[in-house]
A and B are shown apart, each in its own frame.
Chain A
Amino acid sequence: MSEATIDSPSTTSAPAVRAEKTRGTSAWRHIWTIAKREVAGYFASPVAYVFIVIFLLLTGFFAFMVSGFFERGQANLMAFFAWHPWLYLFLVPAVGMRMWSEERRLGTIELLLTMPITPWQAIVGKFLASWLILALALVLTFPIVITVNYLGNPDNGVILASYAGSLLLSGAYLSVSAMTSAMTRNQVVSFILSVVICLFLILAGYSPITNLLTQWASSWLVDTIAAFSVMTHFESIQKGVIDSRDVLFFLSVIGFCLFTTSVIIRAHRAG
């Protein structure tokens, strides 16, 4: 303890007691404050609009034109969801690349991390805000659900599960982008790194690649590598079964990447 506390206990203890009392509730309040600012930031710049419009156009284009949604004559949304891992591959890093690199470029990271909040609150707040933008884009694809229900009798449980899987998938990609954007103040570098890592997460379980691997690697090795792929888990959820192992996989990717983000941020500050 320094002498300052002894000299002036009245001036120092009051805010401390207040801080102690409100720590539990204020953690979520801080996350909420940061997330709110972040969402406003996305809509103040064209990022959110561009992402949502491009996402809707591309999902529509691939589902109807490339996969032939109508020609298939099936009352399901396989043609729609199958493209999500590939669309997210480019679109999610585009949303996530600014998350921390912008903060470092502007120097506002110095403001943010000297506020009476923990770095975790900032990391989670920023992540949730970006995820909300992705979720919003996903929600706005609802016309395709209406269409398929109008044309036939799809299993809406499967559709709902697929939506949940798609959201988890985008969250996993986003956490990778959060991590890469903490590494650099250059958004382009952050974007490319993120795409490469996400591409690996896809390819490790993408059947053309795994088929190639089985020719020279033992099957347990291929299965182990594939278990790390988002494809394996996304496809499993798409079948309509939300297996806790698949959910756990996505959540642990998110948890791991956000933890790494905090390590990178701490390492940067430590010099």
Chain B
Amino acid sequence: MIEVRNLKKSFGAKTAVNGVSFKVEMGEVLGFLGPNGAGKSTTMRMITGFIPPSEGEVFVGGFNMLDNPIPAKSLIGYLPENAPSYTDMTVMGFLGFAAELRGLHGDAGKRAIHRVVEMCFLESVLHQSIETLSKGFRHRTCFAQSIIHDPPVLVLDEPTDGLDPNQKHEVRTLIRKMGRTKAIVFSTHILEEVEAACSRAIIIDRGQIVANGTPDELKQRSELAGAVTVRLLDGSSTEVMQRLNQLPTVGKCAVLSESPVTVRAYLKKSGERGELAREIGNIAATERWRIEELHTEEGRLDEVFRNITRPETKQEEAA
């Protein structure tokens, strides 16, 4: 439904987005990750046709955004960053305005408003002026606007920004539910959100895609993925280290704590789920270690994220 080809955007001398390409099909929820200023919002603005790309093309439902903006835009629901809305209007008035611009007049408009008001829990503030609303309600009002025409494509720029944990959870649930029948792109810098709602994630850094895969695949890129942690009731950490280092698949070991003795064995090639835990179990049996805990680590997204989107200062030091 969404296809982005070699998208580039520069503002003056600064390149914000540099050669981004990806596809999102129906039934997919694509998480767009990246540090602040990585080019997430700029990319989304180009997808929705708010700003034209310097180079490259955007197709939405087969329509080229540059040549055929009206049919392309009519397929998209968009929640811009910071969820802007006309603060002098009531929630009802604002949704009515959005419905009319989306070609929903009369009864169709009323039905559409009713539907999104129910979905976004806006009944209690329907006739209140938007400027009197809390941030959460304002946010949901703008979100409601984006789904008023039940679009096949949803582009959400930080949809959970500024919401409390309960509201965040609601929005994620909603995204996951709608993701079954729509093509959704949403940006965030909250990593747990990606695991909670996305079927696929793209990490973007300084305008370029640095990783693209399912959340599980991305986690496998973590150094931690497949590592095994052992905690013993007694024994010495050096002895455990020595034994574990002899295993052929183990790359390195680290002592996490001395008492109780906790050692983590990292794989040589992280992400290769293997027999490490069982092998360590066997060693423990022969060595008579009294194991308190033994488990294989999942990869951690934040670690992957940190490793591939190094902060600029580090980058400069390296250069």
Interface residues of A (CB under 8 A from B): 1-8, 11-12, 15-16, 18-20, 22-23, 26, 29-30, 33-34, 37, 40-41, 44-45, 106-108, 110-111, 113-118, 269-271
Contacts and interface: CB of A to CB of B under 8 A. Distances in A.
Contacts of B9: 271
Contacts of A107: 80-82, 84
Interface stretch (B100-108, B214-222, B242-250, B308-316): B100-108
Interface in B67-121: 69-71, 73-76, 78, 80-82, 84-89, 93, 97-98, 100-103, 105
Contact of B61 (A11, A22, A45, A269): A11
Given A15-B75, A118-B70, A2 B62 contact: yes
Q: Which of under 10, 10 to 19, 20 to 34, or 35 or more describes the interface residues of B?
A: 35 or more
8 tightest A-B CB contacts, nearest first:
A5-B62, A107-B84, A116-B74, A12-B61, A2-B59, A44-B88, A271-B11, A116-B73
Nearest to A37: B97
A111 B145 contact: yes
Contacts of B152: 11-12
A270 B78 contact: no
A102 to B, nearest CB: 9
B63 interface: yes
Given A41-B89, A116-B101, A4 B82 contact: no
Contact of A4 (B48, B59, B81): B59
Secondary structure dominating the interface of A:
helix
Interface stretch (B49-57, B265-273, B287-295): B49-57
A252 to B, nearest CB: 28
A45 B84 CA distance: 18
Given A16-B63, A111-B80, A116-B74, 8 more contacts: A40-B88, A107-B80, A111-B85, A115-B98, A116-B102, A118-B69, A270-B51, A271-B11
Contacts of B26: 8, 11
Contacts of B161: none
B71 A106 contact: no
